[in-house]
A and B are shown apart, each in its own frame.
Chain A
Amino acid sequence: MRIIRIISVLTLFIAIATFNVNGQCKAFAKKDCLPQLHPYTHDGNYHAAVLVEGEEAELYKTFYSDMEYRVAVVGEGKLPNVEFKILDENKNVIYSNKDNNYAKTWDFKLENSKQLKMVVKVNSTSKPGDVPVSGCVAIMFGFKIKK
């Protein structure tokens, strides 16, 4: 009976943890990433994922010449620095926040509309044998009409 009890509790714990991960990411994105966009208007799209140290995410988006944009990339506090790079269609790096003290936001505007690629990477700081840290990383875009 005790074994069944333990299994039940463990299973319930795993279930709750599984269902909470996505919800936590959403709550984190709204609480910690969304405010970084101010005074730009958030476009309404939601991109967030749980990443482990050393893992990368990629994002593809078209940016338009009439707009000014702010991109915000924020990782949960327990994560090491989150690096993000913006690349053009020839994979040339246009911007890297690593050169800007791992800034969480970048403001830009375009002379002509372009599709750009974004690469987001959680730096790895753990030593061999350590359990790698994981956490939510949110990517959000704000815009305003170009002056």
Chain B
Amino acid sequence: MNRKYRIGTGIIAVIVLFIVLLSGCRSGSGEKTQKDEPITEPKDNTEAMQDVKQAKEIFNSLPSPLESAMLIKSAGARFDKKFLNPVDNTKNYTTNASQALNLGIYTCDLSFASLYDQTQLIIDYMNAAKKMADGLGILDAINQSTIDRLEENINNTEVIMDIVSETFLNSNSYLKDNDQPAIATIVLVGGWVEGLYIATQLVDLNEFNGNKLVGRIIDQKLSIGVLLSLLESNKEHPAIGALTLQMTGLKAVFDKIKIDAKPITTEIDKTTDVTILRSEVTTDMSLATFKELTGIVAGIRNSFIK
């Protein structure tokens, strides 16, 4: 009895110790870059701004799918269902990478549908996102109570946005906390590319000059460095190499867009206590570059949803 107990306890101790060591080895990768990781070649503003010597953690934050959809809406774009990834495609996504990309894509489509009060599509796309999250083993990010709450508040955009935000928070925090930061990154890349895809498709070329949506597309140049840093810090994942190649190609097109910015001055709106950051910015993107950008984004996005 005693001997059995000793052996049993010993085995448990060894197993638990093994798990602890394994967990220790895996921590530290992902969205956050650890201080002692090798410093790579500078990329755009992001790296020029980085001061690696002191920071313990470096977070590279891409616009979430909800923010991307909000930017499209705020630019006055119309809604068009044909630019969303059909929900029937869910059955095609069987690998972790394709499920992660399409979790981001469906969350962006869901956000887009939510902002334009597309009630049936909201339910359909929440279910599509749920299938992707379930496939990735993200427990309870989107459960039946989420769907029920969505249905109960289907005409309340504000509550729906809160639910979408909450489900996205559940997904990405689960992935980061369970040592899957690369998957969390892939989800973000999927969502960001989908937002860019929808935006580029919705631009009316007859109203190219001074188009607000074109302005928001140009702004995405500011995030490409962040995106590449995020991929760099997760490069050990087998799906990241191909994504990095695609995004490097996209960056080459963004590099053709000129953005000149003057230093920021600040002013506080006394009535709202909101600080206004003022700075003069001039941008220049030719129609040819826009068409090239539209083409490359469509190619990348279609490779994600096939």
Interface residues of A (CB under 8 A from B): 1, 4-5, 7-8, 11-12, 14-15, 18-19, 22-23, 25-26, 29-30, 34, 41-49, 51-52, 55-62, 64-68, 87-92, 94-95, 106-115, 117, 119, 139, 141, 143, 145-146
Contacts and interface: CB of A to CB of B under 8 A. Distances in A.
B60 interface: yes
Interface stretch (B8-16, B93-101, B289-297): B8-16
B54 A56 contact: yes
B63 A43 contact: yes
A23 B178 CA distance: 9
A56 B19 CA distance: 29
A43 B66 contact: yes
Contacts of B66: 41, 43-44
A68 B48 CA distance: 26
Given A19-B23, A95-B266, A115-B226, 19 more contacts: A4-B10, A7-B13, A8-B9, A14-B20, A15-B20, A22-B178, A26-B177, A41-B66, A41-B158, A42-B165, A46-B172, A49-B56, A58-B57, A60-B226, A66-B75, A106-B275, A107-B272, A109-B276, A119-B55
B190 interface: no
A114 B277 contact: yes
Interface residues of B, number: 78
B57 A57 contact: yes
B131 interface: no
A4 B8 CA distance: 10
A68 B276 CA distance: 9
B59 interface: yes
A38 B65 CA distance: 20
Contact of B219 (A26, A94, A113): A113
Contacts of B74: 66-67, 145-146
Given A26-B177, A108-B276, A45 B264 contact: no
A57 B33 CA distance: 10
B56 A62 contact: no
Contacts of B61: 45, 47, 59-61, 141
Given A8-B12, A44-B168, A107-B273, A62 B49 contact: no
